[in-house]
Chain A
């Protein structure tokens, strides 16, 4: 290793260690994880590229401010357990966030090496450690404090909050509407991007910390806040129900058979294993031509799933251009390598029914980029008369989601007019015994932000309940 004044000095010309991927032509036909992750050698080589900045911008770029240069330094020293402990101080889900964070707009987007060449592969390094949880030190558990907290929802926000609270000595019960834990990590993000075994490992880890899980529990209908805080004897509630209600395109033909919201299409496969029908009872549609509307990660997941279910032509149709797509760059790159077609600057006008009554085509309006809008991005405007018809036997809408409608039924706290919970920066709602965080407060955002909110709320709950 080159040394300058006894300090580590990286080779500025070293290229970023490439991702360890399955061959695109092989992987596009099954649900195996696409990215196998770094080997130890790859992790050590990549760790050498970190410049160990005095004012690390990468840390600022991370929504929960993981001490990135410090954990990378421990990797260089081959002390992987200590490296993982550094991450665990700020994040409980490195195996998940390392895989699904949009690093290019967070930590890696700020990495100084990215200005001249390519940023350090921080996400891959984090994941490398997260995949070896057995190396971490056992969490310090505070003694039981006799207080009970109900966590509603077992997505990234709920499970992070539950884990923190359990370590702080609380008796925690997580209520989950589905039959298994993980929220969007299990029903939304496909196996080829986030293996379900990784999520299960996190949930099992929480059980070992003493967190109880009650599945099939639709809070709001099965019990409300009043009952939980009253006869059920909980001292506080953390609401993390997410924002899973699909947004409509509001165009004719949206309710035709074989027109899906991405949530349904993905839930059938990810949660219900419809790709293994009839071994599993839930069916799905294996279409030849699939069009997905949207440019986010959900759209990418849906189109790549369609490809794996046998689509010959799978199209991502987006109303702006590739450059504006909010999806993770790595997934866009994976999708294209797998043969997904990107159709920029189109907006759906109408789904058209075929002879059998199911969708057979979608009529789209061609767009061009006009003046910048409030978000600073150039607004797509229709090109008059430029209308096309794309044949398809499955069409999927992935244009976003709204607040979970059960927040209102849980009750006891203020919501805004869109049904999101009003909470301050510590997750406090209008009710002194109820906290909330994640997508049900912010609207659809990222796993790491949801996780950060869970952690912040856990600290606030701990402080408040300790005080009285």
Chain B
């Protein structure tokens, strides 16, 4: 059992948990993830480390409510325990020295932040592009502002409710044109990563993406998370989740992400009906 020490709510659907896990905190690196099984009938779901503290013995992850498991987790409170938390898993993010542009889209900002922080610590100059559909879904702005000078932070919202109106590729293209960055890291929804990649390719700038396929065991034993990289099959849980974004087969990733959409809907519906019955 893994005790929840702190719960933070960022918006209607986005939450952060701080979990007691001393050994995991000691070995966590930016870009790695953990797997959660909420309770004994639960499924295993991957979440990237948002933060960790080896001295205090905790790790944090951020999640958005999208289905049954995340909905159920959002009801957990500090003092409650999560049945299983396994990690750290996957390879840490490694970027070449120089100036890096870190792009985070939506809940992907929770992954982009520890990467940006690690890059700053290892002497990189970092630009951050923070994208969200609307102002309320923009995560971790204060943390990014604490980490980076204001002119290195570029915010976009699809609806223009905050920052620049539009998508992340607009400021990215500006930075690449000005030759202000040597390498790009992106994490977020598939279309965002795909178009960031096309933009970076136009300027011959290397770009890494943190991929988010469905996972079951997270240790390379099942291959559910397989992705096609340059025509070769790789397991995101052990070979990634970071890959050269120009080599990723995005259609394949999207198709595999959608493989259980019907079942995911059924599961959420059954849970919500049970909850309603309970409150009656």
Residues of chain A having any CB pair with chain B under 8 Å: 177-179, 187, 215-218, 221-223, 244-246, 248, 250, 254-258, 260-261, 263-264, 267-268, 272-273, 277-283, 357-358, 404-406
- Name the one of A254, A264, A281 contacting B222, with C-beta atoms under 8 angstroms: A264
Contacts A272-B44, A281-B43 known; list 7 others, CB within 8 Å: A187-B217, A187-B221, A218-B89, A221-B27, A221-B89, A256-B255, A281-B267
In whole Å, how far is B83's beta carbon from the nearest beta carbon of chain A? 7
Instruction: Decide if B219 touches A267 in the complex (CB within 8 Å).
Output: no
- Name the one of A179, A218, A221 contacting B37, with C-beta atoms under 8 angstroms: A179
Query: Which of B6-14, B123-131, B192-200, B258-266 lies at the binding interface?
Result: B258-266
- Name the one of A216, A281, A405 contacting B68, with C-beta atoms under 8 angstroms: A281
Main secondary structure of the interface of B (DSSP, over half): mixed
Instruction: Decide if A282 touches B216 in the complex (CB within 8 Å).
Output: yes
- Name the one of B233, B263, B270 contacting A248, with C-beta atoms under 8 angstroms: B233
Known contacts A223-B27, A255-B228, A283-B263; A264/B89 CB under 8 A? no
Instruction: Decide if A177 touches B252 in the complex (CB within 8 Å).
Output: no
Residues of chain B having any CB pair with chain A under 8 Å: 23-24, 27, 32, 37, 41-44, 68-69, 83-89, 216-217, 219-224, 226-228, 233, 238, 252, 255-256, 258-260, 263-264, 266-267, 270-271
> Hey, which chain B residues are within 8 Å of A223, CB to CB?
23, 27
Question: B259's closest neighbor in chain A, by CB?
Answer: A257
Q: How far is the CA of A264 from the CA of B217 in the complex (A)?
A: 8
Q: How far is the CA of A254 from the CA of B255 in the complex (A)?
A: 13
Residue picked from B221, B256, B267, most chain A C-beta under 10 Å: B221
Known contacts A216-B86, A272-B43; A406/B252 CB under 8 A? no
> Hey, which chain B residues are within 8 Å of A257, CB to CB?
255-256, 258-259
Residue picked from B217, B228, B233, B252, most chain A C-beta under 10 Å: B217
Q: How far is the CA of A267 from the CA of B245 in the complex (A)?
A: 30
- Name the one of A245, A258, A272, A278 contacting B220, with C-beta atoms under 8 angstroms: A245
- Name the one of B42, B83, B87, B220 contacting A222, with C-beta atoms under 8 angstroms: B87
Q: List 28 A-B contacts (CB under 8 A).
A: A215-B84, A216-B86, A217-B86, A218-B88, A218-B89, A221-B32, A221-B88, A222-B24, A222-B27, A222-B87, A244-B220, A248-B233, A250-B233, A254-B233, A255-B227, A255-B256, A257-B256, A260-B223, A261-B222, A267-B217, A268-B216, A272-B216, A277-B267, A278-B270, A283-B267, A404-B220, A404-B221, A406-B219
> Hey, which chain B residues are within 8 Å of A281, CB to CB?
41-43, 68-69, 267
> Hey, which chain A residues are within 8 Å of B238, CB to CB?
405
> Hey, which chain B residues are within 8 Å of A221, CB to CB?
27, 32, 87-89
Known contacts A215-B84, A223-B27, A263-B223; A283/B260 CB under 8 A? yes
Instruction: Decide if B87 touches A278 in the complex (CB within 8 Å).
Output: no
- Name the one of A179, A222, A245, A248 contacting B221, with C-beta atoms under 8 angstroms: A245
Instruction: Decide if A267 touches B216 in the complex (CB within 8 Å).
Output: yes
Q: How far is the CA of A264 from the CA of B219 in the complex (A)?
A: 12
> Hey, which chain A residues are within 8 Å of B223, CB to CB?
246, 260-261, 263-264
Q: How far is the CA of A232 from the CA of B98 in the complex (A)?
A: 38
Instruction: Decide if B44 touches A282 in the complex (CB within 8 Å).
Output: yes
Instruction: Decide if B221 touches A216 in the complex (CB within 8 Å).
Output: no
Question: B23's closest neighbor in chain A, by CB?
Answer: A222
> Hey, which chain A residues are within 8 Å of B228, CB to CB?
255
Question: A246's closest neighbor in chain B, by CB?
Answer: B223
> Hey, which chain B residues are within 8 Å of A254, CB to CB?
233
Instruction: Decide if B226 touches A255 in the complex (CB within 8 Å).
Output: yes
> Hey, which chain B residues are within 8 Å of A283, CB to CB?
260, 263-264, 266-267
Q: How far is the CA of A178 from the CA of B222 in the complex (A)?
A: 13
> Hey, which chain B residues are within 8 Å of A268, CB to CB?
216
> Hey, which chain B residues are within 8 Å of A277, CB to CB?
263, 267
- Name the one of A222, A264, A279 contacting B216, with C-beta atoms under 8 angstroms: A264
Instruction: Decide if A216 touches B84 in the complex (CB within 8 Å).
Output: yes
Q: How far is the CA of A335 from the CA of B51 in the complex (A)?
A: 50
In whole Å, how far is B194's beta carbon from the nearest beta carbon of chain A? 17
> Hey, which chain B residues are within 8 Å of A405, CB to CB?
220, 238
- Name the one of A215, A250, A279 contacting B41, with C-beta atoms under 8 angstroms: A279
> Hey, which chain A residues are within 8 Å of B271, CB to CB?
278
> Hey, which chain A residues are within 8 Å of B219, CB to CB?
177, 218, 404, 406
